[in-house]
Amino acid sequence: MPVIGALTVGGSALAVPAEYETWTARFQGTYGWQVKPRMDADYSGPKSLLAARERSYTATATGYFGLRPWQGGELYLNPEITQGVPFSGLDGSAAFTNGELTRTAGHSPKLYRQRLFLRQTWGLGGGDERTESDLNQMAGTVDRNRVVLTAGNFSVLDVFDDNAYAKDPRVHFMNAGFMAPLAYDYAADARGFGWGATVEWYQDDWVLRLGRMTGPKRPNELPVDYRILRHYGDQIEIEHAHTLDGRPGRVRLLGWRNRAVLASFDDALQALRANPGGDPQAIFAVRNGEKTKYGVGVNVEQALSDHVGLFFRGMKADGRSETFAFTETDASLAGGLAVNGGLWGRGLDTLGVGYVRNMLSRERRRYLEAGGISFFLGDGALDYRPEQVFETYYSLHAWSHTFVTADYQRMWNPGYNADRGPASFYALRLHTEF
C-alpha cells in the first residue's frame, strides 16, 4: 500500500516505523460482501451472469513472514486461508467484481502456501533510500541504484504493473479491472501465482524489469506446468519516475509474451461450424498445439495535489488465442482518481472513482457470436458491445489498523452483450493488517 508524495492511499500511513529489521511477522485479514439485484436479460446461456438476485463473498487471512539470511538477502513465506463464493460461478463477465475471487475456493476455508520466495539486492550506489516495514518488506536502507532478483513462488503482479492508486482489491478498488489491465493475460495458476524469477535494475529515475514465470498445465486451472523452458510467460517493463508541476508521477511501459498449449479462436470457430449441434465449448477440441500470445500496455500514476492522485492503464493483446490465466479480455482501458480524506480532516480515509472499458478481438467475438463457449463466457449468442464498469468506493479508517469500505459498481454489457444488463453491485469490505 504505497505512498506517493504527500498522498496516502489505502491506509499505508500505518506502516510500522523502524530503523532496520532482521525478521518480520505480519498479518492481514479481509472480508468482502457483495450483492447484485436482479438485472434485465433478453436471454441467458450456460456461461452467463445470472439475471436473478445474487450474493457473493470472499474471506482471506494471510501471514507474512520474512527474515534476512545474509547480507542483501530476504526470504519470505505467506501462508493463506481463503474462503468465498463468486457471482454465477465467476462466469458471465470479464471484469470480476472482486479481485479476491480468483483466490477463493468455496464455502469451506482452505489453507495453502501463497508465496515462498527469495529477494536478493545488490547495491550500485547513488545514495541511500529507505524501505519501510510493510507486507513482504522489511525496514532498512538500500542503494538508490541497485539490482534486485526475486525468485520462487509469487505473483507476476508483485513485481510488474504497480500503481499507487489502483492495485490491491483489499484496500483500493475492488474490481479486478483496477488490480491490473484485464488484457494482461499474465502467467499464473488459477489463484494468480506461479514459479519463476524476475530481475529489476534501478538506475536514478529509471527501472528496467525482466521476468519469466510458469503458467497452468491447462488454461485457467490450478495445476502448474513446471516446464518453464518450454511453456512460460515472459514480461519486460520500463518505468520512469518524474515530477509534473512539482508533483511526483510514474510512467510504465509493459510488454508480455506467453508460450503454451492454447486453442485458436479461428480453429474453434471452424470446429463449431463443422459440428452443428455438437459441444459449443469447441476450444477443448482444438486445444492441441503450442501457440504464442502477446500484448503491450502503458500504466500512469500522477499526484495532482497533496490529496488527489490520477491513474490510467491501457493494454492491447493479440487476441487470437484463448485466455491463458486471467480474464476474457483482448483490450482494456482503466482510469480514475483517488482522493485522500485529509481534504475533509480524515487523513487515513480514501475516496476512489474509476472507469473500466474492456473489448474483444475480432476472432474471439466471432466465436462467441456463433454460439461458442469459452472458459468464462457463453450466452449462446452475442450482440457485441464493449463491457464497461463504473466503480466508486469510500474507505473509512474505523479504528487502529482496521478499515471499513462501502463500494458500488455499475456494469454495462456484462459479458460484452448488449442484450444483457446493466447490473449493479453493492459491497461492504472489512480489512485489517498489523
pLDDT tens digit string along 103-127?
Answer: 887 889 999 999 999 999 999 999 9
> With left for phi above 0 and alpha for psi between -120 and 50, is residue 220 left, alpha or beta?
left
**pLDDT value at 148 more than 50:** yes
Nearest by Cα to 366 from 245, 267, 239, 261: 267
Rounded mean pLDDT, 145-162 = 98
Nearest by Cα to 47 from 106, 100, 87, 104: 87
Q: According to the 3-state scheme, what is the secondary structure of 88-110? A: HHHCECCCCCCHHHHHCCEEEEE
Rounded mean pLDDT, 279-296 = 95
Q: What is the DSSP string of 369-424?
A: HTT---SS-B-SS--B--EEEEEEEEEEEEETTEEEEEEEEEEESGGGBTTB--EE
40-97 residue pLDDT tens: 999 999 999 999 999 999 999 999 999 999 999 999 999 999 999 999 999 999 999 9
C-alpha cell of 377? Answer: 463466457
* Cis check: omega of the bond before 86, within 30 degrees of 0: no
Domain boundaries along the sequence of the chain: 3-433
| CA dihedral sign of residues 258, 260, 262, 264 | positive
**pLDDT value at 18 more than 80:** no
**pTM of the shown model:** 0.93
Share of the chain above pLDDT 70, in %: 96
Helix locations, 154-211, DSSP H: 176-179
**pLDDT value at 144 more than 90:** yes
Residue 10: the pLDDT is 52
386-412 residue pLDDT tens: 999 999 999 999 999 999 999 999 999
Q: Between the CA of residue 400 and those of 15, 65, 403, what are the distances in Å?
A: 12, 21, 9
Please identify, in words, the CATH class of the domain defined by 3-433. mainly beta
239-276 residue pLDDT tens: 999 999 999 999 999 999 999 999 999 999 999 999 99
C-alpha cell of 45? Answer: 446461456
Residue 120: the pLDDT is 98
* Of 18 and 177, the one with more pLDDT: 177
Rounded mean pLDDT, 290-318 = 97
Q: Is 430 in contact with 404 (CB distance < 8 Å)?
A: yes
Share of the chain above pLDDT 90, in %: 93
Indicate the pLDDT class of residue 12, thresholds 50, 70 and 90.
very low
Residue 373: the pLDDT is 96
- CA angle 184–356–242, rounded 5-degree value: 70
